[in-house]
Structure 1
Amino acid sequence: METQLTPGQKQLVDYLKSAIQRTGKAPSLRQAARDLGISHAAVSQRLKLLERKGVVRRQGRYSRTLHLIGPTGQTDGTQRWVEVPVVGRVNAGLPLYAQQEWEGSLVLDSSLYRGRNLFALRVRGNSMQGAGILEGDMAVCTPRQYAENGEIVVALVHEEEATVKRFFLHRDHVELRPENPDYPVMRYGFDEVLVQGRVVGIQRTLHSK
């Protein structure tokens, strides 16, 4: 049996579905109020009632993240997106998520990216073009401080410079190998390199070259 909604509540649900399908995330309450031509308080009240009816679920008390709930009680198919931070730089150690280091966010399909605490880093240079990673791409990473040989990682060199390279561990050094013959293989001592994440995907943006 479908949950009975008032016309106003159905209007808000339809609006949220449309916005999520179009942008990948729910709009702010102020944006919803502007688009629907109603007050901020009215949007807030309708959301509270929809929560009570089990139609939407808010992620945390103060979060803007909303989940539309389907008839089976699962998250609606339109809400399949996850928003991850684009970090301005990679810090030594985890977590990586100090807000002041963010350079915006990236919306990803959660059916393709299932890791927790994902982050993204904009690629600089073309040293990994042989692996299909180009200047300006967003490297989507899962936080990790170790790597298997041959994995593509985000590594912090000398606790300063973040680089995306293929990782190899040797008996007496760490090798960070590019995928472009124009760039040299880099070799470092064990204490000079900190793995910060494994690259699990690449998102090409309008800024990519």
Structure 2
Amino acid sequence: MGRKKLTAKQHEFLQFLIDHTQEHEVWPTYREIIDHFGYRSPNSVTQNLKALHRKKHLVRDSQGYHLAPKHRDDEEDTGIPVRGIISAGTLQEAVEADLGTITLDMIFPNIDRLFAIRVSGQSMQGADIRDGDYVLLIDDDIPEGGIGAVLYNGETSLKRVYHDKNGLRLEPCNPEYDDIHIHPDVFEEVTILGRYVGHVNERGIFKRRSAA
């Protein structure tokens, strides 16, 4: 699914983010956005950011919102060249041709919603996710028993996530590590940063297995 059409006000909001980021090389603060548009409440900023995120013009990671790749000046249209056709049946004459490129958005159809976090520790080595790997996460809910990143009380963890009536149980994929139990108080919040869809290391790109 591609990016959805913006309203005139949303387009103006997005253009401000693009212009400010290109000019100052940093993301604008809430105060700068409020002063520019004359908003009465920070909630107006939040609602616009969420709308642009839903319409795939922004991506979000543990650091906050960022422009989607389409809106970045330094984003290059690169990929793996497709150089021809090869038979998977009987022997046939090689066919060489320029058939375009395989890009990351073909490998990961929801690339606009993806972000990466570097792993520290070995608690997920049973899922072939090791210290120093970069896990690829999508801004989405984590199914029962699925692997994902969770933020609680200023701390994050990558684990298998299980829900119960009192909170969450975070299960490692390494018997040397213990489960983590999160039972938040009424005023505390558990944030799902993203659902695991793959990881990257010096050996290549690995997509999520069906059981992960």
Bigger relative CO (Cα 8 Å, ≥ 6 apart): 1
Question: What TM-score does the superposition give when structure 2 sets the normalisation length?
Answer: 0.47
